[in-house]
Amino acid sequence: MASAAFDYSQWPPSLTDDQIGALTQHATTYALSHGLTYLPPSATQPPSPSSVIHAPISLLPSPIPRSLFERAQQLQSSYNILYARVAMDDDFLDKVMGAVEGVGKADEFVGTLWRGWKAIRDAGIVQPLHLGLFRSDYLLHTGGEDGTISLKQVEFNTISSSFGPLSERAAAMHRYLHALTNYYGVLPWLKSENFPLNDTTARLAEGLAEAHKAYGVPSAYILFVVQPNERNVFDQRWLEYELLEKHSIRVVRQTFEELASSATLDADTRILRLAIVPALSPSWSESSLEISTVYFRAGYVPSDYPTTTHYATRFTLERSRAIKCPTIPLQLAGGKKVQEFLSRPGVVEQFIRDTDARDTVTGAKDLRETWMSMWSLDDPNPPVAPADHAIRQCTDEPRGATYARALADSLVLKPQREGGGNNVYKQDIPPFLETLPMQDREAWIAMQLILPPQGVGSYLIRAGGSTPGLNGGNKTVRSETVSELGIFGWALFSRETGVRERGDAGWLVRTKGVESNEGGVAAGFSVLDSVVLVDG
């Protein structure tokens, strides 16, 4: 583990108002010029956007120990293989996430996906290959007994692992600001060799291109399944452009609503085709497009399935010969309950061994070192006294209330959801548990909170500040912050072929104010950031 040589409380370096104003102008102009952008908020987005805003960004990169950054990159290969193997273990997923034995009993969203997958595999799966574009998220943790800073995993994402292309551009923006201004010489850590390169766009596109190649029809398209009125469209478009320019692969984008009428399966071959109206797309001479790969940037939250037709469309795609990214079992493998189950004694060792040198650069012990304590809310013998036990104590004796508050301050409760804004933290836990029916508790896990370094700050910029002037209408705020590091990877795998994967496919940093428990950029909690490597 790294030593605590770097003084996090001295970050960020002090800048004058004039320096902040100049850097903000350079940063936001760069972002708008280089596609580090969002569509502006509105009730509906026009088919052809006519305006953009820059994505929420930080003015300076965030300090991360070099050894821990490199360690996170090394771990990604093992995590890719671990979750690929979990996704191929039907019995394990049935037990943990199924609607008969597992989480699906208590969580209707998970249960519906599992039942659809069960019906599909009972009928016979025609495409054995899975594609995963993954992201493993970490925080720095200061809770070690010896005072060292370590790397702890927040979660592992198996569906719609977003912000790869925009994170690459955020890193490039910080390198540009350093090259242009040297950040006014305010700190010796801010030098070019401490700004790591990030090539996420090419690496993620490589994974999609490998799936397309494995499908074996060069003229086929990759389908991006997207949410309606998507504001984070440019993060997706950069992958589309990379696929066309570097791999000569064309992309078509559709929502579940559109796919309900456009998608059909050949009865014999299960080839997935999309009906296309040529008048709407003059460059396409085809009346239908064959799909090689389905890349889901939607489908990870219940609101993406407002009707049974939306679920039926998802299952139509799943039954097809196209390669899915992810398949339903791979999506289920990313559930928080799986994360908790793997942390139990002897479980992760069923998938990754310490001596598994042929497949991985790290073993089960190395993965366990990145985990906080986790347990199920319905576990009768948890490793830490559960929060609902503390609530019961509150009714029995006065000191129980103090115990409950202290315990809740060390916990986060997580449901089986992605996208930010779903967790329950600290003092919100006791009243939440009082209203959570016992039969619903299996859908939640408890996790010991990670304790990031205190006193770290940053300058955060969001578009549309209310006061024009020094910052040109952009609101730049100095705030105490927490930064989350995400490492991307991909894997193409099946039982027949084994796992082909790329361990390090770039990285992401998201930074939020300490007052915010949640961390999603798209959900409005965080800004896009990058890394400055430090010692210790």
DSSP of 92-107: HHHHHH-SSSSGGGT-
Cβ pair 394, 496 in contact under 8 A: no
Domain-terminating residue out of 449, 481, 498: 449
Nearest to 244 by CA among 274, 269, 208: 208
Q: Do 361 and 423 lie in a common domain?
A: no
Q: Please tell me the total count of domains within the chain.
A: 2
User: Highest mean pLDDT range out of 42-56, 377-391, 440-454?
Assistant: 440-454
Q: Do 170 and 200 lie in a common domain?
A: yes
Q: Do 286 and 317 lie in a common domain?
A: yes
Nearest to 209 by CA among 505, 485, 418: 505
Q: Do 329 and 429 lie in a common domain?
A: no
Task: Give me the residue label for tokens 């940053």.
Answer: 458
Pick out the residues of the known binding site: 135, 155, 157, 159-162, 230-232, 236, 297-300, 336, 414-423, 425, 447-450, 484, 510, 512, 518, 521-522
At 467, give phi and psi (nearest 5°): -115, 105
Residue 521 makes CB contacts below 8 A (sequence gap 6+) with 55, 56, 163, 232, 510, 527, 528
Give me the pLDDT at residue 470, please: 35
Kindly state whether residue 45 falls inside one of the protein's structural domains.
no
CATH of the domain at 410: 3.30.1490.50
pLDDT at 384 over 60: no
Kindly state whether residue 264 falls inside one of the protein's structural domains.
yes
Kindly state whether residue 119 falls inside one of the protein's structural domains.
yes
- The average confidence (pLDDT) of the chain is 88
List the Cα angle 17/18/24 in 5-degree steps.
Answer: 85
Instruction: Quick: pLDDT tens for 46-82.
Output: 677 888 999 999 999 999 999 999 999 999 999 999 9
Residue 413 β-bridge partners? 424, 446
pTM over 0.85: yes
Can you spell out the DSSP letters for 342-367?
HTSTTTGGGT--TT-TTT-SS-HHHH
In a 13 Å sphere around the CA of 345, the CA atoms on its Cβ side amount to 2
Cβ pair 87, 130 in contact under 8 A: yes
Cβ neighbours around 52 below 10 Å, total: 18
Kindly state whether residue 46 falls inside one of the protein's structural domains.
no
Give me the pLDDT at residue 277, please: 65
pLDDT at 254 over 50: yes
Give me the pLDDT at residue 267, please: 95
Q: Do 110 and 167 lie in a common domain?
A: yes
152: part of which helix (H) or strand (E)?
Answer: strand 150-157
Q: Do 433 and 511 lie in a common domain?
A: no
Q: How far apart are CA 128 and CA 200, in angstroms?
A: 27
Kindly state whether residue 42 falls inside one of the protein's structural domains.
no
Q: How far apart are CA 37 and CA 231, in angstroms?
A: 9
Kindly state whether residue 1 falls inside one of the protein's structural domains.
no
Domain-terminating residue out of 392, 419, 449: 449
Kindly state whether residue 273 falls inside one of the protein's structural domains.
yes
Q: How far apart are CA 150 and CA 452, in angstroms?
A: 9
Task: Give me the residue label for tokens 């977003």.
Answer: 162
Q: Do 212 and 113 lie in a common domain?
A: yes
Q: How far apart are CA 420 and CA 38, in angstroms?
A: 18
Domain-terminating residue out of 449, 464, 499: 449
Q: How far apart are CA 430 and CA 392, in angstroms?
A: 10
In this predicted model, which residue has the larger pLDDT, 197 or 526? 197
Give me the pLDDT at residue 400, please: 47
In this predicted model, which residue has the larger pLDDT, 428 or 100? 100
Q: Do 233 and 382 lie in a common domain?
A: no
Q: Do 429 and 529 lie in a common domain?
A: no
Task: Give me the residue label for tokens 């196209």.
Answer: 322
Pick out the residues of the known binding site for ATP: 155, 336, 414-423, 425, 447-450, 484, 512, 518
At 461, give phi and psi (nearest 5°): -120, 125
Can you spell out the DSSP letters for 31-66?
HHHTT-EEPPP-SS--SS----EEPPEESS-EEEEH
Instruction: Count the residues in the chain.
Output: 536
pLDDT at 119 over 50: yes
Nearest to 326 by CA among 126, 119, 210, 160: 160
Give me the pLDDT at residue 278, please: 62
Kindly provide the b/e burial profile for residues 133-171, where b requires at least 16 CB atoms within 10 angstroms of the residue's own CB: bbbbbbbbbbbeeeeebbbbbbbbbbbbbbbbbbbbbbb
Instruction: Quick: pLDDT tens for 201-231.
Output: 999 999 999 999 999 999 999 999 999 989 9
Q: Which of 99-103, 290-294, 378-382 has the lowest mean pLDDT?
A: 378-382
Q: Do 250 and 287 lie in a common domain?
A: yes
Q: How far apart are CA 528 and CA 56, in angstroms?
A: 6
Strand order in the sheet with 374-376: 374-376, 444-448, 411-415, 424-425
Instruction: Quick: pLDDT tens for 412-440.
Output: 899 888 766 788 888 788 788 888 888 88
Residue range 21-28: mean pLDDT, rounded: 96
pLDDT at 246 over 80: yes
**Catalytic site positions:** 135, 155, 157, 162, 336, 414, 418-419, 510
Per-state percent for the chain, helix, strand, coil, to nearest 5:
40, 20, 40
Q: Do 184 and 102 lie in a common domain?
A: yes
pLDDT confidence of 379, banded at 50, 70, 90?
Answer: low
Q: Find the radius of gyration of the CA atoms of the chain.
A: 23
pLDDT confidence of 361, banded at 50, 70, 90?
Answer: low
Q: How far apart are CA 133 and CA 488, in angstroms?
A: 7
In a 13 Å sphere around the CA of 410, the CA atoms on its Cβ side amount to 14
Kindly state whether residue 96 falls inside one of the protein's structural domains.
yes
Query: What's the one-letter identity of residue 407?
Result: L
Give me the pLDDT at residue 375, please: 86
Q: How far apart are CA 501 and CA 18, in angstroms?
A: 47
pLDDT confidence of 399, banded at 50, 70, 90?
Answer: very low
For residue 426, the enclosing domain spans: 374-449
Give me the pLDDT at residue 284, please: 58
In a 13 Å sphere around the CA of 217, the CA atoms on its Cβ side amount to 16
pLDDT confidence of 389, banded at 50, 70, 90?
Answer: low
Q: Which of 18-32, 182-196, 429-443, 502-516 has the lowest mean pLDDT?
A: 429-443
Q: Do 86 and 222 lie in a common domain?
A: yes
